[in-house]
Amino acid sequence: MSGKPVLHYANTRGRMESVRWLLAAAGVEFEEKFLEKKEDLQKLKSDGSLLFQQVPMVEIDGMKMVQTRAILNYIAGKYNLYGKDLKERALIDMYVEGLADLYELIMMNVVQPADKKEEHLANALDKAANRYFPVFEKVLKDHGHDFLVGNKLSRADVHLLETILVVEEFKPDALAKFPLLQSFKARMSNMPNIKKFLQPGSPKKPPLQEKEIPNLLAIFS
């Protein structure tokens, strides 16, 4: 056994992408075992590897962890990306949960019926511009620090960068009205571990294409 975490999921972003981001930001190398057909998932289930018969599953430190939040919480705690005390953790949790809501909304666009896609996207981008980004711009403005919480890199910063980039895939000028978020993005993207993750050949996955959906449904349904 290599000692590296092993990620079990399909070869797509889905619910595993935040885990990839966080491990990468923490400088932790990991392996991936991709589910390619229904039988691959079935095998994990019958092995008893999946507590609730679901992936994501991450083998880490002798555990077979499931539940994305649990996995992210563990990684963040282990690699000191979760604040220094309960109160910093509370702030981080608030920011991360808000970002997860936005991220999920954006990601759902690809599975909307054709006649609803445009409206759905407009709604998601509106929320990004008027509900979420202003909050984080204000946080940065109010304390004037480089990072969201405790003047130090945390998972909240990593999730914020991830979310900004996903929104920009749909609207490249999404940060036009948010100067502090723009400099946050530039700063974060330049950090060595994250810079490496943003380069071609890294474990970072591309956006989901519609043509991939039938195969994914075949694995997961």
Partner 1 sequence: MAAKPVLYYFNGRGKMESIRWLLAAAGVEVFRTGQVPMVEIDGMKLVQTRAILNYIAGKYNLYGKDLKERALIDMYVGGTDDLMGFLLSFPFLSAEDKVKQCAFVVEKATSRYFPAYEKVLKDHGQDFLVGNRLSWADIHLLEAILMLEEKKSDALSGFPLLQAFKKRISSIPTIKKFLAPGSKRKPISDDKYVETVRRVLRMYYDVKPH
Q: Is 98 in the site for partner 1 (CB under 8 A)?
A: yes
State in angstroms the smallest separation of the CB of 159 from partner 1: 13
Q: Output phi, psi for 24, to 5 deg.
A: -60, -45
Query: What is residue 35's three-state secondary structure?
Result: strand
SS (H, E, C) 98-166: HHHHHHHHHHHHHHCCCCCHHHHHHHHHHHHHHHHHHHHHHHHHHHCCCCCCCCCCCHHHHHHHHHHHH
Q: Which of 11, 49, 73, 189 binds partner 1 (CB under 8 A)?
A: 73
Q: Which of 29, 36, 39, 97 binds partner 1 (CB under 8 A)?
A: 97
Q: What is the 8-class DSSP label of residue 9? A: E
In the bound state with partner 1, the residue whose beta carbon lies nearer, of 135 and 218, is: 135
Q: Is 93 in the site for partner 1 (CB under 8 A)?
A: yes
Q: What span, in angstroms and rounded, lies between the C-alpha atoms of 12 and 20? A: 11
| Binding segment toward partner 1, per CB under 8 A, in 91-99, 144-152, 181-189, 206-214 | 91-99
Token pair of 69, please?
A: 């939040």
| Residue pair 162/194 in contact by the 8 Å Cβ criterion | no
State in angstroms the smallest separation of the CB of 210 from partner 1: 23
Touching partner 1, residues 33-72 (CB under 8 A): 51-53, 61, 63, 65-70
Token pair of 61, please?
A: 């430190």
State in angstroms the smallest separation of the CB of 54 from partner 1: 9
State in angstroms the smallest separation of the CB of 191 from partner 1: 24
Q: Is 77 in the site for partner 1 (CB under 8 A)?
A: yes
| Binding segment toward partner 1, per CB under 8 A, in 14-22, 34-42, 95-103, 158-166 | 95-103
Let me know if 1 is exposed, middle or buried by CB neighbors in 10 A (0-12, 13-18, 19+).
exposed
Q: Which of 94, 122, 176, 213 binds partner 1 (CB under 8 A)?
A: 94
Q: How many residues belong to the site for partner 1 (CB under 8 A)?
A: 24
Q: How many Å separate Cα 21 from the centre of its chain?
A: 6
**How many CB atoms lie under 10 A from the CB of residue 61?**
10
Interface residues with partner 1 (CB under 8 A)? 51-53, 61, 63, 65-70, 73-74, 77-78, 86-87, 89-90, 93-94, 96-98
